[in-house]
Amino acid sequence: MSNATPDTPRPPAGRAGMKKELPERFRAYRHVWVFIELERGQVHSVSFELLGEGRKLADKLGVQLAGVVLGPPEEATQNAVAQAFAYGADLVYFVEAPLLADYRNEPFTKAMTDLVDTYKPEILLLGATTLGRDLAGSVATTLLTGLTADCTELDVDADGSLAATRPTFGGSLLCTIYTLNYRPQMATVRPRVMPMPQRADRAIGRVIVHKLSLAEDEIVTKILGFLPDSQSGTANLAYADVVVAGGLGLGGAENLQLVKSLARAIGAEFGCSRPLVQKGWMPADRQIGQTGKTIRPKLYIAAGISGAIQHRVGVEAADLIVAINTDPNAPIFDFAHLGIVTDAVRFLPALTEAFTRRLSPHSRDKLAS
């Protein structure tokens, strides 16, 4: 039986009840790091998007923004260092070794964790790509720190903690997660969630070179060859300027042809909401939303899509959102720039015909320019 009375103070619930003071061993951790994802000579654009976001965090904290480049001794690796500075890095941590020619979890995890243990960043950001997700989970586990995956927003709290926001409960809610008592605070962000910063030609600044203390015979995984994905590039939703998508409001799989016809008429990519992939009406690489592709087009036309949170976070960065739905209370109308309350199955053919009449083949390619 409890002896508490109504006047007995209770410990605050949630984050307020947690210990905010960092353990002594973490107090020297400073600066914001961004992993520059380099694969087969190309830097993934999400790295530049994260440099733009990292710049904001570093400025709020009054610390430096650093890029982390891991790669083989090739010209492309040196170019990645230069690009990190061009997109805003103050300095670059650089590990160059033949073992890093192709991504393998063991050498990349070893390189990154050695850097963190030596130079002690307070925040480490990685792209939520196939490579980035694999590396982030391994690094966080090795360092015994927290990792917030697939973030849609990053900020710094009043006490200097990283506030990482992501959807939860199947995309029905947004929650903000803190790593209060461990460092570094780690987060991954999917491509196209954050805006691309302006590139500026800058001289290469301070580069801190670190040696990889690992031999090939210590690595279990071996590279036998490289087979490119024959399906890669078939759906370019994330980088399309115009996107047309359909949802359950279309009524049946056969009506997705209306979405594809409109997309073809205006030179757009086409996609769908999650339920259509779950029903097998479209392949997963056409899914738009938190569990699919995040897009930032100049024009997004959503036909028969209700606009649940998990879909909203994948499209709300579009410059112009046009929603077509029979339900005037559909959530998508809360964030669409233009809403049309009508049956998409009847409206899309008329819209396609109107675009076809007004747009020449040349102007279709420039619709979003």
Binding residues: 273-274, 287-291, 304-311, 325
The Cα 163–Cα 2 span in angstroms is 36
Helix (H, G, I), strand (E, B) or coil at 69: strand
Question: Which residues have a Cβ under 8 Å from the Cβ of 28 and sit 6 or more positions away?
Answer: 120
Max Cα-Cα span within the chain: 80
Is the N-terminal amide bond of 328 cis, ω within 30° of 0? no
Reported for 274-278, long-range contacts at CB under 8 A and 24+ positions apart, including other chains, are 274/310, 274/311, 275/247, 275/248, 276/246, 276/247, 276/248
Q: Got the DSSP string for 185-208?
A: EEEEE-TTSSPPPPP------EEE
Dump the DSSP string for 217-282: GG-S---------TTTTS--GGG-SEEEEE-GGG-SGGGHHHHHHHHHHHT-EEEE-HHHHHTTSS
Residues that constitute the known binding site for FAD? 273-274, 287-291, 304-311, 325
Sequential DSSP letters for 316-357 = TT-S-EEEEES-TT-GGGGT-SEEEES-HHHHHHHHHHHHHH
What backbone phi and psi angles, to 5 degrees, belong to 337?
-80, -30
- In the chain, the amino acid numbered 80 is A
Determine contact, residues 19/181, Cβ cutoff 8 Å.
Answer: yes
* Local structure of 47: helix, strand or coil: helix
2: tokens are 């409890």
- The residue written with tokens 């360092």 in the block is 143
